[in-house]
């Protein structure tokens, strides 16, 4: 069974980013059987922010990094601060092994108070995943404050985009799990 790791890059809890990341994960899980794990960086920041290099993180931090490196699908979310993704998310990915990430799949999302920051997905998150050779679904998801109500995604258009991104993720996951004949040695 494939594994999905949802990464909430918000430094605070609760957060709209967490709501969006979980809604995306739920949509994927409705479409295919998948094991799901969540990393809320606001909760685990001490495990990874304690060092500048990988050997300096705690054992729990190392386990989180390995969890991401083994995931089949990543759902990566961040609030937008000053037209950029969060520092804690940046530091987390600074510690991830580039080679271990090759050919992973991802859904990218962000939240913010203004539509002026919606391009953070295309201009920052997608290039970050490109550096790691992680395949991203075509649909990026950006949620404004008014897209949320009572702790859930309330916007019909955002809900539709979530379903589209989840379907795209299921399609690329399914194509990567097609059985290939074993080579005779």
135 φ/ψ angles, rounded to the nearest 5 degrees: -80, 130
Structural domain includes residue 108: yes
Structural domain includes residue 154: yes
Report the candidate in 5, 6, 9, 8 with the shortest Cα–Cα distance to residue 86: 9
Report the candidate in 39, 35, 100 with the shortest Cα–Cα distance to residue 70: 100
**Which residue reads 């980013």 in tokens?**
17
Q: Give the CA radius of gyration of the chain.
A: 16
Structural domain includes residue 185: no
Rounded Cα gap, residues 150 and 64, in angstroms: 30
Given a cut of 70, whether residue 185 has pLDDT beyond it is no
Q: How many CA atoms lie within 13 A of 4 on its CB side?
A: 25
| Total count of domains within the chain | 1
Rounded Cα gap, residues 183 and 185, in angstroms: 6
pLDDT for 115 equals: 93
Q: Taking residues 154-166, what's their average pLDDT?
A: 99
Structural domain includes residue 58: yes
> First vs last Cα of the chain: how many Å apart?
27
With a threshold of 0.75, does the pTM exceed it? yes
**Which residue reads 């989840």 in tokens?**
166
Q: Other CB atoms closer than 10 Å to residue 11's CB: what's the count?
A: 18
Rounded Cα gap, residues 178 and 54, in angstroms: 34
- pLDDT, one tens digit per residue, over 63-120 is 999 999 999 999 999 999 888 999 999 999 999 999 999 999 999 999 999 999 999 9
Structural domain includes residue 183: no
Place 178 in a pLDDT band, splitting at 50, 70 and 90: low
Rounded Cα gap, residues 125 and 55, in angstroms: 25
Structural domain includes residue 181: no
CATH of the domain at 63: 3.40.50.360
Structural domain includes residue 184: no
User: Strand 141-144 and strand 135-136: pairing?
Assistant: unpaired
SS3 109: strand
Q: Taking residues 142-157, what's their average pLDDT?
A: 98
Structural domain includes residue 125: yes
Enclosing domain of residue 99: 3-176
Place 182 in a pLDDT band, splitting at 50, 70 and 90: low
Q: Under a CB-based contact definition with an 8 Å cutoff, are residues 133 and 157 in contact?
A: no
pLDDT for 184 equals: 53
């Amino acid at each position: 069974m494939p594994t999905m790791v949802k990464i909430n890059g918000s430094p605070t809890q609760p957060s709209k980013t967490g709501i969006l990341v979980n809604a995306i994960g739920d949509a994927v899980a409705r479409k295919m059987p998948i094991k799901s794990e969540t990393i809320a960086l606001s909760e685990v920041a001490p495990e990874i922010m304690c060092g500048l290099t990988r050997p300096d993180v705690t054992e729990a931090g190392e386990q989180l990094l390995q969890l991401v490196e083994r995931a089949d699908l990543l759902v990566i979310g961040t609030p937008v601060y000053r037209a950029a993704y969060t520092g804690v998310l940046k530091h987390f990915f600074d510690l991830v092994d580039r080679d271990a990430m090759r050919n992973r799949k991802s859904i990218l999302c962000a939240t913010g108070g203004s539509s002026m920051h919606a391009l953070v997905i295309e201009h920052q998150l997608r290039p970050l995943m490109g550096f790691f050779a992680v395949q991203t679904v075509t649909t990026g998801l950006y949620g404004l404050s008014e897209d949320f109500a009572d702790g859930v995604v309330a916007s019909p258009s955002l809900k539709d985009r979530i379903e589209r991104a989840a379907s795209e993720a299921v399609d690329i996951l399914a194509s990567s799990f097609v059985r290939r004949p074993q080579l005779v040695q």
